[in-house]
Chain A
Amino acid sequence: MKQLSTKVTSNGHGQDSSYFLGWEEYEKNPYDEIKNPNGMIQMGLAENQLCFDLIESWLVKNPDAASLKRNGQSIFRELALFQDYHGMPEFKKAMAEFMEEIRGNRVTFDPKKIVLAAGSTSANETLMFCLAEPGDAFLLPTPYYPGFDRDLKWRTGAEIVPIHCSSSNGFQITESALQQAYQQAEKLDLKVKGVLVTNPSNPLGTALTRRELNLLVDFITSKNIHLISDEIYSGTMFGFEQFISVMDVLKDKKLENTEVSKRVHVVYSLSKDLGLPGFRVGAIYSNDEMIVSAATKMSSFGLVSSQTQYLLSALLSDKKFTSQYLEENQKRLKSRQRRLVSGLESAGITCLRSNAGLFCWVDMRHLLDTNTFEAELDLWKKIVYNVKLNISPGSSCHCTEPGWFRVCFANMSEDTLDLALKRLKTFVESTDCGRMISRSSHERLKSLRKKTVSNWVFRVSWTDRVPDER
């Protein structure tokens, strides 16, 4: 019997993970305000639906951009034929400037160092093809976006070795965790080619601190390896702090134009900040000419539709629009996050304090029967099937501590969010834990925190994970 490649028979696509199974359940019974008010509410999809009105009104005012016209004249032919893998110059310029604007114009991006890709899914994989091969590994801090298992490993044959982060310090990356991960890779006979971080983090919803960024740059300098910073959520930073990009750090450490800067690469996309995942717009930014050259050729396998490049170069070149959009986007995200956080608090649930992203990293450890991933999965099933909320269990993000869940807040209306919170509160109050804490919310939280810190022992139940030192 003729066979297919090992890529087909392996599980490298990652689709058997709970992350994707939750989506399947949602597809079977999706919530609809009118038609299916008891359906499942999708809280596992990191989409940004908060600012479409801004783009829509721009489209109405600028009809040429979406109708393949320039100054009223059809440029259909020009766009239909444009398949240059260098990308549309106007579009790359607009992307570079948009990325600069998001970083407060503190750093510059050279359009010639941008390589376009069909979404950051494609960008990350392409970078991996350029930097790693079977036998190599990239270090990733946990918890991380489940899609990375597919994007970085499936077709490239590269491996991921986790940098274990824990709640004891808000899941920040530490020097010892980095070193441990590096050693672990060596034990597994893997050659470490680099570190990949998502900043701001998915699923944590937090931006990396300057301390962590400095640590990372120092680490890759001393180990002589690469650093990929996936900054896909850079435009969703809504906290009081400014977003610090790895590019900021290179500048501040006076490492621009040095050999180290050639090993630092940024990945970006318009799928989250602008809420346009369907348009497939991603980018790799690298100071290494060889990488830009190789990645550009590889982009043939995932070019951005010229029609889409044209529309977005017009949109992003409108500086009035971009500054208004970024400001409004931040405001709305902040307000939504607050709504989710306070709603969770009234159900006695806390989150990791977040300042970015389209989701919160929610602490439901106190709702677990036991401090195990089996219990986490049990809880997740109850939430999916009984409460009818699709949220993402931490284990699907390779979190080393059971009980954490990623809950999205920007892909639904306010009413839907309120309903979801109501369902969750009802569920919590119906469990033992919930009944016990049905006092005032302040008291609830205080006693809750005390209980979790003193009673839970952090023992990891996965056999292939390094046991915690604490």
Chain B
Amino acid sequence: MGLPLMMERSSNNNNNNVVELSRVAVSDTHGEDSPYFAGWKAYDENPYDESHNPSGVIQMGLAENQVSFDLLETYLEKKNPEGSMWGSKGAPGFRENALFQDYHGLKTFRQAMASFMEQIRGGKARFDPDRIVLTAGATAANELLTFILADPNDALLVPTPYYPGFDRDLRWRTGVKIVPIHCDSSNHFQITPEALESAYQTARDANIRVRGVLITNPSNPLGATVQKKVLEDLLDFCVRKNIHLVSDEIYSGSVFHASEFTSVAEIVENIDDVSVKERVHIVYSLSKDLGLPGFRVGTIYSYNDNVVRTARRMSSFTLVSSQTQHMLASMLSDEEFTEKYIRINRERLRRRYETIVEGLKKAGIECLKGNAGLFCWMNLGFLLEKKTKDGELQLWDVILKELKLNISPGSSCHCSEVGWFRVCFANMSENTLEIALKRIHEFMDRRRRF
């Protein structure tokens, strides 16, 4: 990946030295040529609509949370009944807000984020608002952290399967590599010490310097939390190898039962040794738990002062709109509201999950036992003609073209086992989900008959 391509531009002048773009600009490390994105294209060209296009493509490849908007809308309506978020009479507070570009971020907003993150973890960890660095989404946070923790040609170890966007976010402009920590279904895709050592060794053998491990907890695409024991092992590993540990906890508020989530923050909470704490960094965002990807709110939380200071300075390239910080600050610091939101959101996601898993089961399809997130990890290995990546892509294509469902093939997530697919369930109405399940049933019925 990332081969530099020399682009010959057709030109009418005599210059035979066409000025090149950078290697970064012409590489394909942005990853957009993968099938993952081709499915989106098919959806864009023929999108399902309950009334206007009932036989269109149903988007099940987009991890969005649309189940709890009503709660947010109602709250914001009540807060600003007259409409304008700066007050309706002469818009006081507007100019101060419009001028605010301090990369420390609005203090009230940082405090709100810290308090929200604490609530999600049931108070099992404290978050210091001064360690919160705001970025325009977790996409920016992950890239920024990579710039800070690693140099070009260094590597981060990432357990497979992982979010396809990481190929771009962690590697594209940073020049950093990803070395996979292979996980498989034999133990529910959990990270094992052997897999960690093996990944580390692979990097060393290739003369690549490992700078850290990056996990997503709860996992995308697995839809499952990382167990406490595994987190402790991970931290031990990072201490032994003297590397960093980044935990992307973007789905932490989407765990169906709060007690089942252990954040790395809880583990660090009980550690006094600064040299251990300083290697731990957490990424968060409001895009999944609150369903607000358009507002671009992400954060880096680091126990390392140097990282906080540098990340803050680097955040100049990706600040959160002060308008957005202002609007969300009071909502997120309203603990009564957030407690209610978190509780109801979890409940609704759990019910959606149960609906889809039940529905798939009835069609003879098993999923990985999940407990979080906006998707389930479905096993269609038994349907593959060829147990190869091509076989998987063929099946994916059939599902897209025949069933008109856009789901994500495991290979786009770098899964080392073929036949797994990520299916999103929170970005559509309940009716649409039923229709999708119906199409799957019919497809499975047809197959059984032959």
Taking Cβ atoms with an 8 Å cutoff, the residues of A that contact B are 1-2, 4-8, 13, 15, 47, 49, 52, 55-57, 59-60, 63-64, 66-69, 74, 76-77, 79-83, 118-119, 121-122, 125, 129-133, 136, 150-151, 154-155, 193-194, 224-226, 259, 263, 271, 275-280, 290-291, 294, 297-298, 300-308, 311
Contacts and interface: CB of A to CB of B under 8 A. Distances in A.
Contact of A56 (B95, B140, B169): B95
Interface residues of B, number: 85
B314 interface: yes
Nearest to A275: B98
Most buried by B among A76, A132, A277, A300: A300
A8 B151 contact: no
A131 B148 contact: no
A278 B97 CA distance: 7
Contacts of A80: 69, 72, 291-295
Interface stretch (B84-92, B229-237, B258-266, B407-415): B84-92
25 contacts: A4-B306, A6-B151, A56-B90, A57-B90, A59-B94, A60-B89, A64-B83, A76-B72, A76-B73, A76-B76, A77-B69, A80-B69, A81-B294, A129-B25, A133-B23, A150-B316, A224-B17, A280-B136, A290-B21, A290-B25, A294-B25, A298-B173, A301-B318, A306-B296, A311-B323
B168 interface: yes
A303 B137 contact: yes
Contacts of A52: 94-95, 98
Given A129-B24, A259-B12, A305-B324, 15 more contacts: A7-B148, A68-B76, A80-B291, A80-B292, A80-B295, A81-B294, A129-B22, A150-B316, A278-B98, A280-B319, A297-B168, A300-B168, A301-B143, A305-B295, A306-B296
Contacts of A300: 137, 139-140, 168
Nearest to B242: A2
B248 interface: no
Nearest to B92: A56
Contact of A66 (B17, B84, B314): B84
A226 B22 CA distance: 12
A118 B84 CA distance: 23
A125 B314 CA distance: 11
A301 B291 CA distance: 18
B89 A63 contact: no
B291 to A, nearest CB: 6
Given A15-B313, A305-B295, A69 B94 contact: no
A60 B148 contact: no
Contacts of A279: 98, 321-323
The 9 closest A-B pairs by CB, nearest first: A278-B322, A306-B294, A305-B321, A67-B83, A63-B83, A82-B294, A278-B100, A130-B25, A277-B101
Contacts of A67: 80, 83-85
Contact of B25 (A47, A77, A122, A131): A131
Contacts of A83: 137, 287, 293-294, 296
B30 A224 contact: no
Contacts of B84: 59-60, 63, 66-67
B163 interface: no
Interface in B279-296: 279, 287, 291-296
Contacts, number: 236
Contact of B22 (A132, A150, A297): A132
A13 B99 CA distance: 22
Contacts of B80: 67
A13 B151 contact: no
B150 interface: yes
Contacts of B287: 83
B83 A66 contact: yes
B9 A2 contact: no
B58 to A, nearest CB: 16
B147 interface: yes
Contacts of A298: 30, 172-173
A83 B64 CA distance: 11
